[in-house]
Structures are given as structure tokens and as C-alpha cells.
Amino acid sequence: MIVDCAAIAIFFRITQLSVFRSFLAQLFIHLHMTRVLVEKIFDEPISQEKWDRDIAIGIPCHNAHNVHWIRSMMARDRRRVICEFEAPDVETVQRSFRKAKLPFARIWAIDLIEPSTSVIAQPSEESYL
């Protein structure tokens, strides 16, 4: 695992220098980044050590694929995690996870809906009937 981590770190160092040469391409990609969720389910609660190792392996690989980790939401029993990424598309995130040999249960693209962006209508009288 440490070997894979080092290999991935080398890959990241090489590609970050030259993977996006064109400013126009960069701008296009920036405007078209997608939010992707990855769900992981563990038979046993995941230990902090295992979690740290997965991060050490996964993050350099993800960065090399232009997949950026936003946050993770871990269940209190540590058996389920949903990780949020910003990436070109779901296929890229999936490929990065497979390359880093990090299993996952599901992966999908999302649209972010937050209260600040939603119109909250006042309930009508009928809704209480």
C-alpha cells in the first residue's frame, strides 16, 4: 500500500506540472465541473488508521485526475461514509477510485440544492387542512 501511495504521489507530481496547458481548456473545465458523491459501506467500522491510509493513497490519485475531495460525511457507527468530490464527470471519479483500489458501493452525480438557493414559499391555508 505504501508503494502504491508513493507511485501515485510521483504520478501526481508529474501530471500537475503540465496536465492543463491551455488556459481556455482550464476555464472550460472549471465551468463544467460536476459534484459527485461516492458511498462506501464497511462490514466493520473503519478504523482511523485505515481511513488515513485510504486518504494517503486516494487523494494524490484523485488530484492527478482533476478529482477534488470536498468533504466526507461519516456515520457515527463508522460503517458508512459519503464522500463529496468536484470532478469533470462521474466516470473520472470512478476510474480514479478503481486505480487506487479503493472499493465503493455507489457513485453518482448530484445537483446541489441549498436553502439559500431555493425559493421557500409560504404554506397556504389548504396545506393545514
Nearest to 102 by CA among 123, 129, 72, 122: 72
Binding mask 16-45 for another protein (x = CB under 8 A): --xxxxx-xx--xx--x-x-x---------
- H or E stretch covering 108: strand 106-110
Interface pick for another protein out of 7, 70, 73, 75 (rule CB under 8 A): 7
Q: What's the CA gap between 61 and 8, in Å, rounded?
A: 6
Least distance in angstroms from the C-beta of 110 to another protein: 10
The one among 42, 69, 104, 115 contacting another protein by CB under 8 A: 104
d(CA 12, CA 7) in angstroms, rounded, equals: 9
Give least dist CB 68 to another protein, A.
14
The interface with another protein within residues 73-102 (CB under 8 A) comprises 88-92, 94-95, 98-99
The grid coordinates of residue 122 equal 409560504
